[in-house]
Amino acid sequence: MLTVNQIDDLTRAESPVVALAVGPDGTLVGPVAQIPERWAQRATEFVSNVEWKPKPGAVRFVDGIGDGLVLCLVGVGAPTSASDVGQIDRPGGDQPGGDQADAAGGPHDLELLRRAAATVVARCQQRTSVALAIASTEDEMVASIEGALLGSYRFVEFKGALTTQPAPQLASIEVLTPVSDRGAEESPRDRSSWTVDNAIAACQATIQARDWVNADGASLPPEVFADAARELLESAGLAVEVWDEHRLASERCGGILGVGQGSSRPPRLVIASYEAPNPVGSVTLVGKE
């Protein structure tokens, strides 16, 4: 998975490509106040010369910035009213950044931002790194991280050596932390670091689930899957118990055993539990591999 680094100043970005958000009329949107004036002028000049009216996800590369830097302009659609844009749930009901508006007058659809970020990383696979400056709120920043990480997913375990596609070189993304008008005594990065960590953790879990789903039965039989699940869940602080075919029989789990009789590899049942410090209820999730 790509490495994620937060930055507060675009001029300090180490990536050779910087992605900027543009609206349907080609004007820069998102964290416009944080974009260096010379970069904004070059982007505006390019859009004006080619008369580009970008659709969501459309991408154009702009050079001439100097120092080998390339701007990647990506369409993110028109801003919409705050009531039409879902916020990302956070513990305690706190919604930092959810009520902030960008330079275009309102927040952007989070799903369009995810797709825009995914398109950027897809088009920059042969670069070593890319900086994303397309979010003006913390919710939008999380959406862009999710889009970039999940959009870069590739399952190549069973790909042969004769594949004609070049191996991706992209290893990391830099994400511009949007300026917040709350808590001036803190830096934007301090306020949003936990949000970024949660987004990365969610993407790691999603990517692991994709790997397991994409693996075939021969490479991921029940005992191998159970061992992998135990290792992952215990590393996250959960208590894990695995029932083999003998325990399943003693517990009279006939349904699992009946299905398992169709294979030479006996079934497993993984039970993971988490106890909160001050629980107010309980939730049980049941799934089948």
Residue 283: CB atoms within 10 Å: 6
Confidence of residue 82 (pLDDT cuts 50, 70, 90): very low
Taking residues 47-56, report their average pLDDT: 89
Of the chain, the percentage scoring pLDDT greater than 70 comes to 84
- Res 52: pLDDT: 87
**pTM for this model (two decimals):** 0.82
The strand pair at 70-75 and 59-62 is best described as antiparallel
Q: How far apart are CA 243 and CA 249, in angstroms?
A: 10
- Res 118: pLDDT: 97
As beta bridge partners, residue 21 has 29, 74
- Res 272: pLDDT: 96
pLDDT digits (tens, 9 = 90+) for 135-146: 999 999 999 999
For 8, the 3-state DSSP assignment is: coil
pLDDT digits (tens, 9 = 90+) for 177-218: 987 544 444 555 555 677 899 999 999 999 999 999 999 988
Q: How far apart are CA 263 and CA 221, in angstroms?
A: 10
- Backbone torsions φ then ψ of 130, nearest 5 degrees: -145, 140
pLDDT digits (tens, 9 = 90+) for 85-98: 444 444 444 444 44
Task: State both tokens at 66.
Answer: 């100097």
pLDDT digits (tens, 9 = 90+) for 115-129: 999 999 999 999 999
Q: How far apart are CA 129 and CA 4, in angstroms?
A: 10
> Are 32 and 22 within 8 A, CB to CB?
no
Q: How far apart are CA 4 and CA 121, in angstroms?
A: 13
Give all strands (DSSP E) within the chain, no chain letters: 3-7, 17-22, 28-29, 59-62, 70-75, 129-133, 172-176, 239-243, 269-273
Confidence of residue 84 (pLDDT cuts 50, 70, 90): very low
- Expressed in percent and rounded to 5, the helix, strand and coil fractions of the chain are 35, 15, 50
- Of 191, 199, 205, the C-alpha closest to 173 is 199
SS3 readout for 78-132: CCCCHHHCCCCCCHHHCCCCCCCCCCCCCCCCHHHHHHHHHHHHHHCCCCCEEEE
- For tokens 């260096």, the residue is 36
Taking residues 224-247, report their average pLDDT: 96
- Res 92: pLDDT: 43
All domains of the chain in start order, with CATH: 3-213 (3.40.220.10), 219-273 (no CATH)
